[in-house]
Amino acid sequence: AREEQPTEGGGALPGASVPCPGAEVVREPAEPPQARTPSREAEADFYCVKWITWKGERTPVIMQSENGPCPLLAIMNILFLQWKARDCILSTQPREPSEGLQLNFQQNINDTMMVLPKLSTGLDVNVRFTGVSDFEYTPECIVFDLLNIPLYHGWLVDPQSPEVVQAVGKLSYNQLVEKIITCKQASDSSLVSEGLVAEQFLESTASQLTYHGLCELTAAVREGELSVFFRNNHFSTMIKHKGHLYLLVTDQGFLQEERVVWESLHNVDGDSCFCDTDFHLSHAPGKEGATAAPPDHHLHQRQVDQDYMIALSLQQQQGQDPSALSDLELARQLQQEEYQQQQQRQQQPPPCPPQGRAQPGGRPAGERRQRQKPDLDCTLL
């Protein structure tokens, strides 16, 4: 690519014509559909680039117009953030002169070159529910191994749910779907029941991220590590900063938002926070208008999630088993229900004050929440 750089907000990456279904095709003057050929459409595809200041260096981030299975963007953004976009493969050559290692490395290179075209349309990734780095091996996974880029997911079974553990076992997603179909057709009632448990697990975790998986993910990822996070058939660039996980914002809608670079990953419901390149909380225009919930609800939700992660961190520091988290999850759920009940009571209209008597001034909502906060913390921890 040429060294031309767009303006501060973003722009197009010259020479980047790797097709991807997640990127919007931008074409020069409109032509009749019959005049377009596949080769010309491929040449017209391009990605926009957002330039950020990453660790003091001006660094490009490739954006995409839609969420789609495009692992190429996640991998390229990691290489850009590591400043290895030009020499990464050469730097991974084995240093030992062993003929066997050299042949194995050359074979990996050849396999990778066969897989590279698929990176723009999606990879065949089949998760296992036993660990955040457990995937059924496919030839496509060799790209991550060759580039030394970790691949993670957070779709795990809670080990304290024995029925689900038995139903899911060490099966991959595809194998579990086949098992559910087989169990439904079985005459043995125990197999039918096991199939229903497995099906209920898939339905209840349709977001493909569980709290147990999020906790295991937080514990497994190293501080400052750049990796690829797989969820809902989408690949994202992920980093761990000061014990918290963040996903790189690549939505083209934020191309001109210089202060929106990272998005926090601290719960399974998608209620996240946007941060700048230094992981400071930033304001995303229009985000408040996307929901009718009051602002203090979002503040409370973030506080609950932060307290939950603090409790997890303390538990791990004390040497307890990270998988024994059901009590914490139950406390978090009870705390959330209590808060919702308080919200319902607060939404009830207050009684009218007697005539001739001034209505006493109430404290701001923030001060009322400040008095309740210690009780919430005590309930959780």
Active site residues: 70, 234
CA distance 277 to 254: 13
**pLDDT in the model for residue 284:** 59
Residue 229 φ/ψ, nearest 5 degrees: -110, 125
Q: How far, CA to CA in Å, does 4 sit from each of 49, 72, 302, 315, 329?
A: 11, 22, 41, 50, 50
How many other CB atoms are there within 10 angstroms of residue 212's CB atom? 23
Please give the structure tokens belonging to residue 315.
Answer: 């538990």
Each residue's pLDDT expressed in tens, for the chain with a length of 381 residues: 333 444 444 444 433 444 444 343 334 334 444 444 444 444 446 789 999 999 999 999 999 876 555 888 999 999 999 988 766 555 566 666 677 777 887 887 788 788 888 787 778 889 999 999 999 988 888 889 888 899 999 999 999 999 999 999 999 999 999 999 999 999 899 999 999 999 999 999 999 999 999 999 999 999 999 999 999 888 999 999 999 999 999 999 999 999 999 999 998 887 889 999 999 998 755 544 333 344 454 555 555 555 655 655 555 555 544 444 455 555 566 556 655 665 565 555 555 444 444 444 444 344 433 444 444 444 443
**pLDDT in the model for residue 198:** 96
**How many alpha carbons fall within 13 Å on the CB side of residue 284?**
19
**pLDDT in the model for residue 53:** 95
Q: How far, CA to CA in Å, does 11 sit from each of 4, 49, 359?
A: 10, 5, 57
Q: What share of the chain is helix, strand, coil (3-state, %, to 5)?
A: 45, 15, 45
**pLDDT in the model for residue 242:** 94
**pLDDT in the model for residue 65:** 75
DSSP track, 253-275: GGTT-TT--EEE---SS----EE
Give me Rg for the CA atoms of the chain: 25
Residue pointed to by tokens 């439904």: 184
Residues contacting 258, CB < 8 A, separation 6+: 8, 9, 52, 276
| Bridge partners, residue 244, by sequence | 241
The β-bridge relationship of strands 11-12 and 244-248 is: unpaired
**pLDDT in the model for residue 347:** 55
**pLDDT in the model for residue 248:** 97
The β-bridge relationship of strands 151-152 and 226-231 is: parallel
Residue pointed to by tokens 């995937």: 135
**pLDDT in the model for residue 11:** 45
CA distance 151 to 140: 12
Answer whether 217's CB lies under 8 Å from 268's CB.
no
**pLDDT in the model for residue 91:** 59
Q: Is 329 exposed, middle or buried (0-12, 13-18, 19+ CB in 10 A)?
A: middle
How many other CB atoms are there within 10 angstroms of residue 310's CB atom? 14
Provide the 3-class DSSP secondary structure of residue 128.
strand
3-state SS record for 40-80: HHHHHCCCEEEEEEECCEEEEEECECCCCCCHHHHHHHHHH
**pLDDT in the model for residue 19:** 41
The residue extents of the domains of the chain are: 162-204
